[in-house]
Amino acid sequence: MRTQVTRTCSKCFATLRQLRSIPRSVSSDVLQSLVGALVFSRLDYGSATLAGLPKQLMDRLQSVQNTAARLIFRARPYDHVQPLLWSLHWLQVPERISYRLAVLVYRCLHGSAPGYLASNLQHVSDLSARRRLRSSSTSALVAPRTVRATIGCCICLEQSAGDSTIIAAIASFLQ
């Protein structure tokens, strides 16, 4: 994931450098819309895979967001960024990732998510082997177990779905 985060940060900083030349020509609302469209779309892409990243990598992603806030308010590099983020109503990167995951789970539970995601999430009370557990009376969810094995530059996920076995190859950005 380090390579993925590095590439995302470098592309976002390149976009911010290009946007740095136009703040005098546009209003701050237009600049905020441009930053949201060009920078946050890159930060939010695949945010479910960013859950549980080490703090060092989260800090790199947070620095992109801090730089974007400073650009919108034309603040100096050493000004405090927290009041800027509050006035823009932006969540910090770890909170943003948690929020996006919560929305994804909500959409899975209420039927507005794609079928391949919604079919993998089940309530504990729906599983016959776990109906007698105390957790079956709560709203706890169960995701299918996955087994990861690294083969070359791919990570293969194998999960059992009834009688059939689904193998999905995902290109790995890890080095």
State the DSSP code for 37.
I
The answer to whether residues 46 and 94 belong to one domain is yes
One-letter identity of residue 83: P
Per-residue pLDDT reduced to its tens digit, 14-24: 999 999 998 78
Domain count, the chain: 3
Rounded distance between C-alpha atoms, residue 149 and residue 130, angstroms: 28
Within-domain flag for 106: no
The pLDDT score that the predictor gives to residue 117 is 78
The pLDDT score that the predictor gives to residue 165 is 30
Query: Which DSSP helix (H) or strand (E) runs through 48?
Result: none
Within-domain flag for 108: no
Cα-flanking dihedrals φ and ψ of residue 129, to 5°? -75, -15
Q: What is the mean pLDDT of residues 147-170?
A: 40
The answer to whether residues 14 and 92 belong to one domain is yes
Q: What is the mean pLDDT of residues 140-168?
A: 47
Select from 103, 89, 39 the least CA-distant residue to 67: 39
The answer to whether residues 139 and 163 belong to one domain is no
Number of helices (H), then strands (E), in the chain: 7, 5
Rounded distance between C-alpha atoms, residue 171 and residue 174, angstroms: 9
* Token pair for 75: 């603040």
The answer to whether residues 93 and 170 belong to one domain is no
The answer to whether residues 16 and 39 belong to one domain is yes
Residue 44 has pLDDT above 50, yes or no: yes
The answer to whether residues 17 and 84 belong to one domain is yes
The answer to whether residues 154 and 74 belong to one domain is no
pTM across the whole model: 0.72
Per-residue pLDDT reduced to its tens digit, 88-137: 999 999 999 999 888 888 888 888 888 887 777 776 666 666 666 666 66
Within-domain flag for 112: no
Structural domain for 64, as ranges:
2-101
Higher-scoring residue by pLDDT: 111, 36: 36
How many Cβ atoms sit within 10 Å of the Cβ of residue 17? 11
* Token pair for 130: 């776990």
End-to-end CA distance of the chain: 8
